[in-house]
Structure 1
Amino acid sequence: MNTKENIETRRSTKHFNPERVMPKEDLAELIRLTKLAPSSFNMQNYRLLVVRDKELRKKIRAAAWDQAHVTDASVLFIMCADLNAYDANPEEYWGHAPEEVQNILGPMIKPFYEGNDELIRDEANRSTALAGMTLMLAARELGYDSCPMIGFDKDAVSKLVNLPEGMMLGFMIPVGEQIKAAWARGPRLPDEKVLIYDQF
Structure 2
Amino acid sequence: MATAIETRRSFLHFDPSHEMSEAEIERLVSLAMLSSTPGNTQPWRFVVVRDLTLRKELRAAAFDQAQVTDASLLVIVTADPSAFQSDRERYSPTAGPETSKVVANSMMQFYTGREWLQRDDAVKSTGLAAMTLMLAAQDLGYNSCPMGGFDIDAVGRRIDLPETHVVSMFVTIGKPVSDAWHRGGQLPIGEVIVRDRFTHA
Alignment coverage as a number of residue pairs: 198
CA contact 2:89–2:101 (8 Å) conserved in 1: no
Q: Where in structure 1 are there 5+ consecutive unaligned residues?
A: none
Find the aligned partners of 2:133 and 2:63 in 1 and give their Cα distance. Answer: 24
Deviation at 1:191, TM superposition (A): 1.6
Q: 2:135 maps to which residue?
A: 137
Q: Which SS does the other structure have where 1:185 is aligned?
A: coil
Find the aligned partners of 2:122 and 2:3 in 1 and give their Cα distance. Answer: 28
Q: 2:196 maps to which residue?
A: 198
Structure 1 ranges of 4+ moved more than 4 A: none
Find the aligned partners of 2:159 and 2:101 in 1 and give their Cα distance. Answer: 38
Deviation at 1:103, TM superposition (A): 4.1
Q: Which SS does the other structure have where 2:169 is aligned?
A: strand
Which structure 2 residues correspond to residues 19-38 of structure 1 after superposition, within 5 A?
19-38=17-36
Deviation at 1:100, TM superposition (A): 4.6
Q: 2:106 maps to which residue?
A: 108
Find the aligned partners of 1:125 and 1:41 in 2 and give their Cα distance. Answer: 15
Cα deviations by residue, 1:118-157 (Å, 9 ceiling, x for unpaired): 1011111111001000000000011111100000111111
Q: 2:163 maps to which residue?
A: 165
Deviation at 1:25, TM superposition (A): 1.6
Which structure 2 residues correspond to residues 1-200 of structure 1 after superposition, within 5 A?
3-200=1-198
Deviation at 1:197, TM superposition (A): 1.3
Deviation at 1:164, TM superposition (A): 0.7
Q: Where in structure 2 are there 5+ consecutive unaligned residues?
A: none
Find the aligned partners of 1:75 and 1:81 in 2 and give their Cα distance. Answer: 19
CA contact 1:124–1:168 (8 Å) conserved in 2: no
Find the aligned partners of 1:102 and 1:167 in 2 and give their Cα distance. Answer: 25
RMSD of aligned C-alpha atoms? 1.1
Question: Normalised by the size of structure 2, how large is the TM-score?
Answer: 0.95
Task: Give aligned-pair identity as a percent.
Answer: 44
Q: Which amino acid aligns with 2:16?
A: P
Find the aligned partners of 2:35 and 2:12 in 1 and give their Cα distance. Answer: 25
Of stretches 96-105 and 22-31 in structure 1, the one that deviates more from structure 2 is: 96-105
